[in-house]
């Protein structure tokens, strides 16, 4: 099998975004008649790499060869010409149009005359050939997600795609639809196509793929045939082996009080549980890490604790008082702070000056407001303090929040929440988008807060971060707590496996 | 701005009038004479008060298009209570009570659309606008039915009995300007301060920045929006009271085609072109009041049909707003260089 020549070879691809190296010298090959799984955690650079191949991004360096010939894929149209097609996580179909009309959009030969009959004939041939059946007259808005996906794939085949890239194709499908999709993928490969699947679900890789490439933080950490690998090797490649305890000095001080969550449950659309019977306790002077792959209820859990979402059942007990029905303001007054993930829409009022943004959680209390009247000077002082102690790069406190870069904005928000007096801090990805030194500074600050008796609930996509600062880690999968680790038991591979839904 | 002048010049020429003279007259009658100023301010007062009221929910990006209806309800409530009490209480008390009732009337008219928005998500632009239609016909029915004055009934005119002269708002001594202007100025200054320096103003600004950041900041969005609409409706109501007690002295019906009296609509651009700054609203309302007044005088002097005058007025308004909103910042920048 290794003697086969690859159709597409990506060589030494480098792509740098502000603050993050998304692809760091990646080599990637696509072979004929194969399903190639591109595996990795969120932010590992999978989608970026495929977007480069599809012509959506330009690599900063590196080359792409098709059948051994160097090519320059300037935009998706070129990619289509080379027989490359991609189905994005979010479909690009027009809901009010039917299948035929959607497939016709952007077909070059159409010009003005829309000969739908001709399109229909060709489409029916393709459907028969690959066993991908949909009703050509059905409108997209009446379709299930699985059907829409079939339409997307048909669209690519119609344009003569030879290599199909599917970005997280199973994320919105029911198990039956997944089976069906996998059957279609098998048929496609039998008919001579190549398929790339981007995923972070381990079990799917074994079900469908022939070949695997694992990315971690922009680098290839594993490459090989599926038949020659084990789950353990893949988890290790995805999550990293080196358990580097970046040790911060920890002191234990005894402070009374805890934030307890009991039997918290939240239902989403169609009564699907998003959070199911979650119970844990966060003590003051402790960092409790939540490890979860994005979308497993960790975000909603924190929103519920802060009061932004209403739970369906369960209790939240802060220092002995039930707060699950209290408004946000009360919870803030009782000592909660929150570093949110959505920095620009939630963390700050983007169109207002920094000093206005410095008191979001104190805008009713002295010294900033006395008898409902604003003291602008105090607001400015506090903003200056944040800017200075967290090294925010900003001309002055009068700069609008939206004028700061992402990293600086994050530093400002982290600084604001840490410098105000609070008993508990909820933090979601507090170091995302920060450079190495700022990341270190924020982590140090988290540990310092902990040492001074603040309880911190830390949800992070970065397992290294959780392991380096947490006292305890709980793992969430599909809305449930599936594991809990004390600091001395931390094992990234075990935690990683639980995050992916595997029983360790 | 220049485009506006060109287009309106074309209209002047159409009616065999030198465009230069036309425009000069417009501005002269608006701002050139003492008498012109009196009339201008007469137009300014309701515009000013309404626009100040609108600036409050607009700050939270809640679009109250219903000032016209709230204004009418203010007129109705103030006139009703004024006629009822005129002989029982001293004039000053009558004015204060009327103002209070006008506030209540305007606020009541603002409540249904606000509640509909907050509890079922109905678009406030549509619902507040619809409330205007109801108000217009409610007023028409009242002044040609239950509230029609005896005098008016004799000649078959739709209007209420007049507010007795001693109960009217006094003039500023030595001028012919109603003290309603002072009420407007006071409201502008008060709300300038409220929006800039109070917790309430701060929270409205955050709500205007987005629901997410507002709820993250612990703000009770529904309560503050509701409050801002009560204030806005109430102030529009006070504008209605000041209009009746300072200018018309009777309730008269108002129609949509009658832009001249639709202060509730003209107040919207006044508020917006001042970037919701109540101090800026003072100047903007004087400016638009002047053009409105000038347009009326033109009709009298040159016997141009009122429709044409109103068209010209509308054009000038549109283009001057465009001019102010787009050119002025550029001009200031250039000037600073």
Task: Give the Cα separation of A182 and A199 in Å (integer).
Answer: 13
Question: For chain B, how big is the Rg over CA atoms in Å?
Answer: 20
**Three-class secondary structure of residue B242 per DSSP:** helix
Per the CB < 8 Å rule, is B213 touching A346?
A: yes
A252: distance to nearest CA of chain B, Å?
31
Q: Which of B195, B207, B217 is the best residue to mutate to test the A interface, defined by the most A CB atoms within 10 Å of its own CB?
A: B217
Nearest to A363 among B197, B202, B210 (CB): B202
Which tokens is A493 given?
């591979």
Residues A38-56 have a mean pLDDT of 86
Q: Which domains does chain B possess?
A: 36-281 (1.10.3470)
A98-112, A126-140, B5-19, B96-110: which has the minimum mean pLDDT?
B5-19
Query: Which residues of A sit within 8 Å Cβ distance of B?
Result: 306, 308, 327-329, 331-332, 338, 340, 342, 345-352, 356, 360-361, 363-364, 369, 372-374, 376
Tokens of A460: 């992070």
Could you give the CA distance from residue A443 to residue A462 in angstroms, rounded to a whole number? Answer: 12
Tokens coding A274: 């998003």
The confidence band for B16, taking pLDDT boundaries of 50, 70 and 90, is low
Write out the DSSP string of B267-321. Answer: HHHHHHHTTT-HHHHHHHHHHHHHHHHHHHHHHHHH---HHHHHHHHHHHHHHHH
What ipTM does the predicted assembly reach? 0.81
Partner-chain contact B199 A374, CB within 8 Å = yes
Q: Where are the alpha helices (DSSP H) in A87-191?
A: 99-104, 116-130, 145-158, 175-190
- Chain A contact for B200 (CB, 8 A cutoff): yes
Q: What is the β-pairing status of strands A219-225 and A211-216?
A: antiparallel
Mean pLDDT of B160-172: 87
Name the token pair of A449.
């807060």
Taking CA A78 as the corner, what is the angle to CA A77 and CA A83, rounded to the nearest 5 degrees?
Answer: 95
CA distance A326 to A305: 10
Q: Is the pLDDT of residue A302 over 80?
A: yes
Distance from CA of A317 to the nearest CA of B (A): 19
pLDDT digits (tens, 9 = 90+) for B100-126: 999 999 999 999 999 999 999 899 999
Task: State how beta strands A61-66 and A8-17 pair.
Answer: antiparallel
User: Residue B176 pLDDT more than 70?
Assistant: yes
Chain A residues lying within 8 Å of B197, measured CB to CB: 373-374, 376
Under 8 Å CB-to-CB from B32, ≥6 apart: which residues?
A: none
**Pick from A294, A288, A239, A215: nearest CA to A478:** A294
Instruction: Give the contacts of B131 (CB within 8 A, at least 6 positions apart).
Output: B66, B69, B70, B109, B112, B113
Give pLDDT tens digits for A308-357: 999 999 999 999 999 999 999 999 999 999 999 888 889 999 889 999 99
pLDDT confidence band for A244 (50 / 70 / 90):
very low
Evaluate if residue A243 carries a pLDDT over 60.
no
Distance CA A76, CA A55 (A): 5
Alpha carbons A217 and A240: distance in angstroms, whole number: 10
Q: What average pLDDT score do residues B232-250 get?
A: 93
Q: Do A352 and B203 touch (CB under 8 A)?
A: no
- Could you say which of A328, A350, A369 has the minimum Cβ distance to residue B215? A328
- A259 forms bridges with which residues in the sheet? A282, A318
pLDDT > 60? residue B337: no
The pLDDT assigned to B263 comes to 87
Q: List, for residues B282-312, the tens digit of each pLDDT value.
A: 998 998 888 778 777 777 777 777 677 677 7
Burial classification of residue B200, based on how many CB atoms lie within 10 Å of its CB (0-12 exposed, 13-18 middle, 19 or more buried): middle
The DSSP bridge pattern shows strands A35-39 and A369-370 to be: unpaired
Q: Decide if A424 contacts A336 (C-beta within 8 A).
A: yes
Residue B138, CB-side half-sphere exposure with 13 Å CA sphere: 18
Mean pLDDT of A222-247: 75
Inter-residue contact B241 to B109 (CB < 8 Å): no
Question: Which tokens hold the place of A419?
Answer: 């410098």
Q: Does any CB of chain A come closer than 8 Å to the CB of residue B199?
A: yes
d(CA A220, CA A236): 12
Most confident of A42-56, A278-292, B160-174: A278-292
Q: What is the pLDDT of residue B261?
A: 52
Contact pairs from chain A to chain B, CB under 8 Å:
68
- Across the range A301-309, mean pLDDT stands at 94
Whether chain A has a CB inside 8 Å of the CB on B275: the answer is: no
User: Are B79 and B152 in contact, with CB atoms under 8 Å apart?
Assistant: no
Give yes or no for residue A14 having a pLDDT over 80: yes
Label residues A41-54 b or e (16+ Cβ within 10 Å = b): bebbbbbbbbbbbb
Across the interface, of A306, A345, A373, the residue whose CB is closest to B212 is A345
What pLDDT, on the 0 to 100 scale, is given for residue A145? Answer: 79
**Homologous superfamily assigned to A248-335+423-504:** P-loop containing nucleotide triphosphate hydrolases (3.40.50.300)
Q: Least CA distance to A369: which residue of chain B?
A: B199
Backbone angles phi, psi at A84, to 5 degrees: -105, 130
Closest-CA residue of chain B to A331 = B218
How far is it, in rounded angstroms, from Cα A432 to Cα A70? 36
Per-residue pLDDT band for A1 (boundaries 50, 70, 90) equals: very low
d(C-alpha B23, C-alpha B38), whole Å: 19
Q: Is the CB of residue B213 less than 8 Å away from at least one CB of chain A?
A: yes
User: Which residues from chain B sit within 8 angstroms of residue A369, using beta carbons?
Assistant: 199, 202
Cross-chain residue pair A328–B213, CB shorter than 8 Å: no
The answer to whether the Cβ–Cβ distance between B213 and A360 falls below 8 Å is yes
Task: Identify from B218, B219, B221 which residue to disrupt to test chain A contact, counting A C-beta atoms within 10 A and taking the largest count.
Answer: B218
Given a contact cutoff of 8 angstroms between Cβ atoms, the answer to whether B305 and B14 are in contact is no
Pick from A328, A340, A348: CB nearest B218? A328
| Per-residue DSSP letter, B178 | B
Structure tokens at B268: 């919207």
Name the residue in chain A with its Cα closest to that of B200: A372
pLDDT for res B269: 84
Helix (H) or strand (E) holding A30: strand A20-30
Cβ-defined contact of A329 to B220 (cutoff 8 Å): yes
Cβ of A352 within 8 Å of Cβ of B200? The answer is: no
Pairing of strands A369-370, A373-374: antiparallel
Q: Which of A148-152, A500-504, B85-89, B140-144 has the lowest mean pLDDT?
A: A500-504
Residues in B closer than 8 angstroms to A377, CB to CB, are none
Q: Which residues pair with A166 in a beta bridge?
A: A87, A197
**Cβ-contact B236, B108 below 8 angstroms:** no
Question: Mean pLDDT lowest for which of A89-98, B140-149, B220-229, B326-335?
Answer: B326-335
| Closest chain B C-alpha to A278 CA, distance in angstroms | 23
Q: What is the pLDDT of residues B307-330, one digit of tens each?
A: 776 777 777 667 766 666 665 566
Architecture, CATH, for domain A8-239: 3-Layer(aba) Sandwich (3.40)
Q: pLDDT for B30-88, tens place per residue?
A: 788 888 888 889 889 999 999 999 999 999 999 999 999 999 999 999 999 999 988 78
Q: Where are the domains of chain A?
A: 8-239, 248-335+423-504, 347-421
| CA A253 vs CA A285, A293, A343, A453: distances in Å | 7, 32, 32, 7
Is the fold of A8-239 the same as that of A248-335+423-504?
yes
Q: B335 vs A449, B3, B284, B324, B330, CA distance in Å?
A: 51, 22, 21, 15, 8
Nearest CA in chain B to A362: B217
DSSP H stretches of helix in A164-297: 175-190, 202-208, 231-239
- In the structure, what pLDDT confidence band is assigned to residue A245 with cuts at 50, 70 and 90? very low
Pick the closest to residue A341 from A43, A17, A39, A23 (CA basis): A43
For residues A214 and A233, the answer to whether their CB atoms sit within 8 Å is no
Which pLDDT score is estimated for B219?
A: 95
User: How many Å separate Cα A351 from the centre of its chain?
Assistant: 26
Q: How far is A48 from chain B (nearest CA, A)?
A: 29
Q: Is B18 on the interface with A (CB under 8 A)?
A: no
> Is residue A107 predicted with pLDDT exceeding 90?
no
Say what the pLDDT of residue A261 is: 94
Q: Say how far apart CA A47 and CA A49 lie, in whole Å.
A: 5
What's the confidence (pLDDT) of residue A104? 82
Of A237-241, B212-216, B271-275, the range with the highest mean pLDDT is: B212-216
Mean pLDDT of chain B: 85
Closest in B200, B210, B220 to A345, CB measured: B210
Beginning with the edge strand found earlier in the chain, give each strand of the sheet holding A61-66 in spatial order: A20-30, A8-17, A61-66, A69-71
What's the DSSP call for residue A249?
A: P
* B198 — pLDDT class (breaks 50, 70, 90): very high
Asked if A308 and B202 come within 8 Å (Cβ–Cβ), the reply is no
Q: Does any CB of chain A come closer than 8 Å to the CB of residue B217?
A: yes
Task: Identify the pLDDT of residue A282.
Answer: 94
Contact: A360, B205; criterion CB under 8 Å:
no
d(CA A50, CA A165): 7
For A349, the closest chain B residue by CA position comes to B209
| Subunit contact A360:B199, Cβ cutoff 8 A | no
Three-state SS at A384: helix
Among A55-64, A439-448, B327-336, where is mean pLDDT lowest? B327-336
CA-to-CA distance for A73 and A82, rounded, in angstroms?
A: 9
């Amino acid at each position: 099998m290794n003697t086969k020549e690859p159709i597409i070879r990506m060589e030494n691809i480098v792509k740098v975004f502000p603050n993050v190296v998304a692809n760091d010298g990646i080599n990637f090959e696509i072979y004929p008649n194969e399903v190639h799984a591109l595996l990795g955690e969120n932010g590992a650079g999978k989608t970026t790499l495929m977007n480069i191949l599809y012509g959506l991004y330009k690599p900063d360096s590196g080359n792409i060869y098709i059948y051994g010939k160097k090519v320059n894929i300037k935009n998706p149209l070129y990619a289509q010409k080379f027989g490359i097609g991609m189905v994005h996580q979010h479909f690009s179909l027009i809901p009010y149009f039917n299948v035929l009309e959607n497939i016709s959009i952007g077909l070059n030969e159409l010009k003005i005359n829309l000969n739908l009959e001709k399109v229909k004939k060709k489409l029916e041939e393709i459907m028969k050939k690959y066993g991908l059946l949909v009703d050509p007259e059905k409108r997209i808005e009446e379709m299930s997600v699985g059907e829409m996906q079939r339409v997307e794939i048909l669209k690519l085949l119609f344009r003569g795609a030879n290599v199909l890239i599917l970005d997280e194709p199973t994320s919105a499908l029911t198990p039956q639809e997944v089976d069906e999709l996998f059957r279609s993928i098998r048929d496609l490969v039998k008919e001579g196509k190549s398929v790339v699947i981007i995923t972070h679900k381990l079990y799917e890789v074994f079900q469908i793929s022939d070949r695997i490439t694992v990315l971690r933080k922009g680098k290839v950490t594993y490459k090989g045939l599926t038949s020659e690998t084990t789950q353990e090797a893949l988890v290790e490649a995805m999550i990293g082996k080196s358990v580097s305890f970046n040790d911060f000095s920890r002191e234990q001080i005894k402070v009374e009080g805890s934030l307890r969550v009991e039997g918290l449950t939240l239902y989403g659309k169609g009564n699907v549980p998003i959070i199911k019977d979650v119970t844990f306790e966060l003590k003051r002077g402790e960092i409790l890490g939540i490890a979860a792959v994005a979308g497993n209820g960790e975000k909603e859990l924190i929103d519920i604790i802060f009061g932004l979402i209403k739970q369906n059942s369960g209790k939240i007990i802060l220092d002995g008082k039930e707060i699950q029905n209290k408004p946000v303001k009360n919870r803030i007054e009782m000592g909660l702070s929150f570093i949110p993930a959505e920095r620009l829409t939630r963390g700050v009022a983007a169109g207002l000056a920094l000093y206005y943004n410095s008191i979001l959680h104190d805008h009713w209390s002295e010294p900033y407001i006395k008898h409902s009247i604003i003291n602008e000077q105090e607001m400015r002082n506090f903003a200056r303090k944040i800017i200075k102690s967290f090294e925010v790069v900003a001309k002055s406190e009068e700069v609008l929040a939206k004028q700061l870069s992402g990293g600086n904005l994050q530093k400002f928000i982290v600084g604001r929440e840490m410098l105000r007096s609070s008993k508990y801090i909820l933090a979601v990805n507090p170091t995302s988008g920060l450079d190495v030194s700022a990341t270190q500074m924020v982590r140090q600050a988290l540990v310092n807060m902990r040492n001074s008796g603040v309880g911190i609930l830390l949800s992070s996509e970065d397992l290294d971060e959780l392991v380096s600062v947490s006292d305890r880690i709980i793992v969430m999968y599909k809305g449930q707590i599936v594991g809990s680790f004390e600091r001395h038991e931390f094992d990234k591979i075990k935690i990683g496996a639980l995050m992916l839904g595997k029983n360790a | 701005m220049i485009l506006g002048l060109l287009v309106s010049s074309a209209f002047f020429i159409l009616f065999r009038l030198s465009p230069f003279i036309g425009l000069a007259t417009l501005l002269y009658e608006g701002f050139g004479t003492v008498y012109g100023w009196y009339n201008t301010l007469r137009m300014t007062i309701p515009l000013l008060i309404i626009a100040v009221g609108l600036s409050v929910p607009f700050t939270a990006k809640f679009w109250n298009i219903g000032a016209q209806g709230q204004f009418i309800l203010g007129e109705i409530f103030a006139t009703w209570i004024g006629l009822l009490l005129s002989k029982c209480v001293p004039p000053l008390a009558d004015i204060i009570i009327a103002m209070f009732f006008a506030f209540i009337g305007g606020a009541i008219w603002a409540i249904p659309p606000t509640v509909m928005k907050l509890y079922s998500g109905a678009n406030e632009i549509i619902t507040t606008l619809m409330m205007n239609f109801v108000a217009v016909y409610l007023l028409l029915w009242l002044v040609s039915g239950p509230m029609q004055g005896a005098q008016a009934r004799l000649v078959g005119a739709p209007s209420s009995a007049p507010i007795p002269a001693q109960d009217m708002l006094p003039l500023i001594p030595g001028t012919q300007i109603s003290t309603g202007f002072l009420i407007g100025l006071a409201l502008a200054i008060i709300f300038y301060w409220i929006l800039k320096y109070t917790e309430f103003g701060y929270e409205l600004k955050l709500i205007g920045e987005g629901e997410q950041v507002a709820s993250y900041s612990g703000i009770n969005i529904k309560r503050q929006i509701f409050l801002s609409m009560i204030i806005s409706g109430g102030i529009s109501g006070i504008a209605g009271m000041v209009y009746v007690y300072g200018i018309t002295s009777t309730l008269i019906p108002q129609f949509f085609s009658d832009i001249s009296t639709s202060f509730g609509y003209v107040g919207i651009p006044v508020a917006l072109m001042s970037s919701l700054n109540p101090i800026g609203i003072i100047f903007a309302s004087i400016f638009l009041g002047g053009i409105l007044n000038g347009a009326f005088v033109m009709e009298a002097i040159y016997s141009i049909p009122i429709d044409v005058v109103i068209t010209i007025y509308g054009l000038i308004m549109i283009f001057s707003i465009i001019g102010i909103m787009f050119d002025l910042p550029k001009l200031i920048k250039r000037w600073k260089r």
